[in-house]
Amino acid sequence: MKTARNIAIIQGSIREGRLNDTITAWTRKQLEAQGFTVSVVDPADPQLLPIQTGDTDAVAHLQTLLAPADGYVVVTPEFNHSAPGQLKTLIDSIKAEWKAKPVGFVSYGGISGGLRAVEALRPVFAELHAMTLRDSVSFAMPWGKFDEQGQITDPQMRDGAEAAMAVFGDRLRWWVDALVAARAMEPYDKAAA
Ligand SMILES: Cc1cc2nc3c(=O)[nH]c(=O)nc-3n(C[C@H](O)[C@H](O)[C@H](O)COP(=O)(O)O)c2cc1C
């Protein structure tokens, strides 16, 4: 049974002044407390930003960041009832790294909590042979409910988010272990139609 479970968080917004940094910091802390080894992939990083125009060096850099991960957590806001375009472009820029690996979602937005972005991304990851987690963590109207350290200040939101994260972490661990074992038993590409 695998002990080190490497998770890459992918930030879903590159907007200046983005709330994403706060939600990502909270997510990272929660996953680390559950025993995951976590790295963060920031599409606004100058080395990754050129992915948006298909720069091959930037895409290769993304591959080196994502390939070692056993699973991914996408932290995404909702833009016009879907996921941000730059996140979709990042996802579209690579293929092999997603295959037969779990992808979980932490989302945020208005009353929807970003869930429409999550649902828009599910068929995208299915096409890429990734396994999306049914359970997610979502924040509806999160503005002003985090302090500067990324802690949730609203008790109701904190309790709900921590309960959702406990389930989410359990599911993520299960899928990481299951798919690590499955890929070791038989290369996924060989089995694919
Ligand atoms: C172009 C655009 C479209 C948006 N559309 C939605 C939407 O459909 N539903 C929603 O809940 N929030 C929507 N929002 C609000 C975002 O969820 C909110 O601004 C969020 O903080 C963006 O994430 P960020 O601060 O990390 O960039 C939209 C924001 C932008 C900029």
Residue nearest to atom 12 of ligand 1 (CA): 109
**Average predicted confidence (pLDDT) for the chain:** 96
The closest of 76, 73, 131 to 99, measured between CA atoms, is: 131
Q: Of ligand 1's atoms, which has the minimum distance to the CA of residue 113?
A: 11
| Domain spanning 6-191, CATH architecture | 3-Layer(aba) Sandwich (3.40)
Closest protein CA for atom 28 of ligand 1: 79
Helix axes 85-92, 115-127, angle to 10 degrees: 20
Q: Provide the pLDDT for residue 93.
A: 98
Let me know how long the chain is. Answer: 193
Counting atoms of ligand 1 from 1, which one is nearest the CA of 108? 17
Q: Is the pLDDT of residue 189 over 80?
A: yes
Contact 27, 73 (CB under 8 A): yes
**Most distant CA pair in the chain: distance in Å?**
49
Report pLDDT for 193: 44
Q: Which residue has the tokens 């359990």?
A: 170
Domain boundaries of the chain, sorted by first residue: 6-191
pLDDT digits 0-9 by tens, 103-125: 999 999 999 999 999 999 999 99
Instruction: For residue 33, give the nearest of 168, 136, 180, 156 by alpha carbon.
Output: 168
102-109/71-77 β-pairing: parallel
Question: Is residue 159 scored above 80 in pLDDT?
Answer: yes
For the chain, how big is the Rg over CA atoms in Å? Answer: 16
Angle at 82 between CA 52 and CA 175, to 5 degrees: 85
Contact 10, 87 (CB under 8 A): yes
Q: Helical H runs in the chain?
A: 20-33, 56-66, 85-92, 115-127, 155-185, 188-191
The set of protein residues with a Cβ atom below 6 angstroms from ligand 1 is: 13, 15, 18-20, 77-81, 109-110, 112
